[in-house]
Structure 1
């Protein structure tokens, strides 16, 4: 590794896309944090019948203002996709998290997405997971909303939606990577 790469804290994988530096933020074991910066929205506002009906679980949508998806908690990568548009994670506390970039983006066959982790990798909150190109998503005719869902919500689990911000855009909260979004109580 070159000295400049060490100083920047980046490594260039085979895809030619630089791996971003890890985000650094304080964490609590019962809290899930924002994996991307952007405008927070309720699941009911997402233009997808399954997500808006909470059929996959509880969470949020985020209209991204950044291009990297980060780990929202400490845990292990449970699943990756060949198309790099979504990822599954099992937190150290046992929450199953699904993160999906865009609506219909599976049809892009990986174009505009670069994954930095593999199934089975252990990650810390703030580890870069996927880089994506919002321009490629919109030019392909898809919405670029990022969804974060806790999928194993049951009778003995309560999820408190705490995502908020003192900064609003169009009446919606702006969040940054590492802002607390969900607290899971068992």
Structure 2
């Protein structure tokens, strides 16, 4: 195998599909990081019946600013669940956090069209590892909201969940976060 083949194998699977490269950023075991770059919004601003009232946990929404459609792991841990439609993933950490990453509102109705999981239940993942890809244009064409939510689904297991998502860069008066920016910190 030549140098070009070694390089290509890092970015293309045996089936010829593109493998997104990992994102690299400093991590802490008590923190949750942005799984995608975009505009940060509170869960109360997400146009959904379940998220604003906290039924799926505590966290943020991120409105993607690009159409790349790659979700990176916001924590290191083990994949606890992947929906059959590949639009959401739960990761359990060694510290006891259960982190839910969900792409879009109503996207379950797309029945998996435009979504591709890169991991399966039981896989060990590292913060910054690509988890799934999605076609942002398909979501919008189907008439759904493309907001990505990242929540700790078991916030009651901790004494406090601190919202630290912020940045010095604003877009329309809202913080603009990039992959790997800290969003949440838990206290036991």
TM-score by length of 1: 0.94
Cα distance change, pair 172–28 in 1 and its aligned pair in 2 (3 A): same
Aligned pair partner of 1:68 in 67, 70, 81: 70
Count of aligned pairs: 185
Structure 2: gaps spanning 5 or more residues: none
In the alignment, the residues of structure 1 paired with residue 5 and residue 175 of structure 2 have an alpha-carbon distance, to the nearest angstrom, of 35
Q: CA RMSD in A?
A: 1.6
3-state SS in 2 of match to 1:22: coil
Distance 2:158 2:148 in 1: 27
Tell whether 2:12 aligns with 1:11: yes
Residue 161 of structure 1, aligned match among 155, 160, 163: 163
Closer/same/farther in 2, CA of residues 2 and 129 from structure 1, 3 Å limit: farther
Structure 2 length normalisation: TM-score? Answer: 0.93
List per-residue Cα deviations over 1:116-150 (Å, max 9, x = no partner): 00100001100100011110000001000000110
Q: Which residue of 2 aligns with 1:27?
A: 27
User: C-alpha offsets along residues 15-51 of structure 1, whole Å, 9 cap, x if unaligned?
Assistant: x541200100000111110011111000000001210
Structure 1 unaligned spans of 5+ = none
When residues 5 and 90 of structure 1 are mapped into structure 2, their CA distance, relative to the original with a 3 A threshold, is farther
Pairwise CA distance, 1:156: 4.3
